[in-house]
Structure 1
Amino acid sequence: MCVLLWVVLAIGVLLCPAQAIDGYSQLDQSSRAGVDLVVQQLHAHVGVHAHFLFFRSVEKSDIEAGFGARHISHHFLLKPTTCAKGTTPATVETCPFRNDRPLMDCKVCYKMFRDEIEAEPKPYVHCIQKPKLTQMMRQSRLDRCRRMRYTNGAPTLLASTQN
């Protein structure tokens, strides 16, 4: 009976990192680009001392804006790892998650054109430790992302002229 318990425990330990890796690898390319942007900015921030990896998505939206443009909003969680800040390449296998630190709650909104993040409008990135996230911050995130969607350009693109 004791051996069976050890086997079940060992299988569980082996499956946990695989599921975490699958979380990032199962994201589509446009969502991965946003997560990579956030992680890059987070690791460049002077006040952040931990190394973070993607943990899981909370909410995603992908709105077609026409002419190959898309507006993407992605709310997700990052989890601190045991690795030093700036470790590359970092995966859950090389940098296991820590359970003694809070998750980082992140929201990113950006415009993509032909699978590249556009510089204009400037991507909106907001991350804060999950326990510190307030309802006012949630509303502010939502408002900022909504404003980005409505800067698509002039409606005169389809206007025609007669000679």
Structure 2
Amino acid sequence: MDAPIGPLLLGGTEQGLALVCFRAEGATVERALESAGRRLGRSPVADAERLAPVTEQFDAYFDGTLREFSLELDWSLVTGFARRVLRELAAGVPYGAVVGYQDLADRVREPGAARAVGVAMGSNPLPVVVPCHRVIESDGGIGGFGGGLEIKRSLLALEGVLPAPLF
């Protein structure tokens, strides 16, 4: 899918959307599908027709008309602590809001796990929909982002958290 933040790979299973991958070009797509296929025990579908409802919601999000995704998600690519953290993030941090790594650790009742929350964000197979871009450092710093800080800044600007980039 062509998106304002660059090409995205969207992959799903019978259960729902399973994979969102940034910078989806060439070898990146092949690696992402191969890795997801190994972990799922089957290849996710990257079929434009079957994923049309997903791309419609992504288009609306990037147009600024959708503030909450209503998609079935397949959580199979994430387990344990990371799944708990990502589910809390998806359910509890709305559009236009941010949360600190420590705050998120506290929400899942693991107060000593702020760094592990960062690792969970890095393992998020569903960025944008499960909004890891909304997790920032407790001192207000932007923190890291697997898709690159320019994408994180763009997503936060879209949601009104940061000013839009100048160029």
| Same-fold call, TM cutoff 0.5 | no
- The structure that is strand-richer by fraction is 1
Greater radius of gyration (CA): 1
